[in-house]
Amino acid sequence: METLWLDNVNIHERSSVIPNAREHRRARVQHAREALRAIRRVHGDAPLILGTSGSVAWATGGVSQPIDRTAAFDAVWLVDAKEPTLLISSVEIPRFAAEGELEELGFKVVAVPWYEENGFAKAALAAAEHDHADVLSDVGLGTDVSTELTAFRMVLSGGEREMLRWLGAESARVLEEAVRAWQPGITADFSVAGEIQLGLETIGAEAVCLIVGGDDRVKTFRHPMMCGAVVNELLMAVVVVRWSGLHVAATRMATNSADQRLSDDYALVSSVARATLLASTPGATWGDAYGALSRAYRDVGHGQAWRDHFQGGPIGYAQREFELSPEATHSAFWSRPIEQNVAVAWNPSLHGGAKVEDTFLVGESGNECVTTTGLWPRCDPDDPLSAADLLVLE
């Protein structure tokens, strides 16, 4: 294999720090398989059909990389019935046969002709040996069990947590290097975004959400999407990264000017983030966490500011496993307990530009920040709840 180098770093050598994918994949598949059995038992052992990207990635240990990164459904479906069966597009069968290790993972494989209309649904029902009404699924067939699937897959296994730590650290490194490389008055937002994309693709990851903006657009818009503008005084870069089905999220901001209001606002949103993280603890409910977020905004004098922007929440096999607000008391997740080993990414913000965001693992004895290099201002390794501060360039 040809050895590739980038900035005097051996890419293959860098990639070697990825946790043992084969070992962890087996453990991840077993972990998910036990959860799938539990869901089926509640429903009289009915067959279960999975087709959404997040659920398929979870149930297969990330064996499938989406061909269309925007697609709602995967090119691989899973039918959990008499035996776990993967339905794979006929286009992808040769690749999976050569690289998928599917027999080792205990999957039967069925090819679905890419040209057949509703081919996956037909093949799924055939593999389940049941009619449409007698199955469970997350793709609109039979009984919808999406909420149950989300609740189970949010609780990450040991291998998933190790991989999330690696992904978080690498994503933070890429993000911070790109922001530090910004040259005020010279660098355009597209260039910063390109550096982030390059760094992530180099480690085999992808940005499923990427926002880079500057100056007044950051202070005016919550999502200042790239437009080719040169950034002069204030830069914000936001990323949600996916790798092996898992996601992490982080935001970093930098400035070359003294802006006391922005600095003060940063302290306020950091306070909101800390209060929300302290409420994100095993035994509390998700409603408790969103209630704490609302109170924290009130305590810093911005009681209704949470209405201006989605505030984040649990992350894992989706950018956010579900979306709530402090008023979403009707949600099935509102009164659900927060469990140990889920991941959260809160992103409080204020009009004027201040925004903080990192990804944390919820633990019994405290929350652990995974999107950290320890090299960014106020990322204190001895304080896992410390927020990433505004970087002031000299």
Q: DSSP class of residue 245? A: T
Same domain, 268 and 307: yes
Among residues 134, 153, 172, the one where a domain terminates is 153
Same domain, 177 and 109: no
CATH number of the structural domain spanning residue 364: 3.90.230.10
In a domain, 339, yes or no: yes
Longest CA pairwise span in the chain (Å): 67
- In terms of phi and psi (left: phi > 0; alpha: psi -120 to 50; beta: otherwise), the region of 353 is left
Do 89 and 7 form a contact (C-beta atoms < 8 A)? no
CATH number of the structural domain spanning residue 147: 3.40.350.10
In a domain, 173, yes or no: yes
Same domain, 174 and 283: yes
| Token couple for 370 | 């995974």
In a domain, 10, yes or no: no
Number of domains in the chain: 2
Q: How far lies 167's CA from each of 175, 244, 249, 316, 370, in Å?
A: 12, 10, 10, 12, 8
In a domain, 9, yes or no: no
CA 185 to chain centre: 32
Do 291 and 324 form a contact (C-beta atoms < 8 A)? no
In a domain, 15, yes or no: no
| Token couple for 232 | 């002069």
- 3-class DSSP state for residue 185? coil
Among residues 104, 136, 153, the one where a domain terminates is 153
Same domain, 301 and 324: yes
How does pLDDT run along the chain (394 residues), one tens digit per residue? 233 333 333 333 444 355 566 788 899 999 999 999 999 999 999 999 999 999 999 999 998 777 888 777 778 999 999 899 999 999 999 998 888 888 889 999 999 999 999 999 999 999 999 877 799 999 999 999 999 999 999 999 999 999 999 999 999 999 999 999 999 999 999 999 999 999 999 999 999 999 999 999 999 999 999 999 999 999 999 999 999 999 999 999 999 998 899 999 999 999 999 999 999 999 999 999 999 999 999 999 999 999 999 999 999 999 999 999 999 999 999 999 999 999 999 999 999 999 999 999 999 888 999 999 989 988 776 777 877 889 999 7
Q: How far apart are CA 216 and CA 219, in angstroms?
A: 5
Same domain, 132 and 191: no
In a domain, 5, yes or no: no
Q: How buried is residue 16: exposed, middle or buried, by Cβ count under 10 Å (0-12/13-18/19+)?
A: exposed
Same domain, 188 and 240: yes
Q: Report which of 256, 249, 323 is spatially closest to residue 286, judged by C-alpha positions.
A: 323
In a domain, 14, yes or no: no
Same domain, 146 and 165: no
Among residues 153, 177, 194, the one where a domain terminates is 153
Same domain, 132 and 192: no
Same domain, 189 and 333: yes
Same domain, 130 and 195: no
CA 31 to chain centre: 19
In a domain, 16, yes or no: no
Instruction: Name the pairing type of β-strands 360-363 and 366-369.
Output: antiparallel
Same domain, 228 and 324: yes
Q: Report which of 275, 276, 289, 269 is spatially closest to residue 349, judged by C-alpha positions.
A: 269
| Token couple for 176 | 């911070």
In sequence order, the 6+-apart residues with CB closer than 8 A to the CB of 5 are 11
Helix (H) or strand (E) holding 288: helix 286-299
Q: Report which of 177, 195, 200, 156 is spatially closest to residue 62, judged by C-alpha positions.
A: 156
Domain that holds residue 303: 158-392
Q: How far apart are CA 274 and CA 386, in angstroms?
A: 7
Same domain, 308 and 174: yes
Do 266 and 353 form a contact (C-beta atoms < 8 A)? no
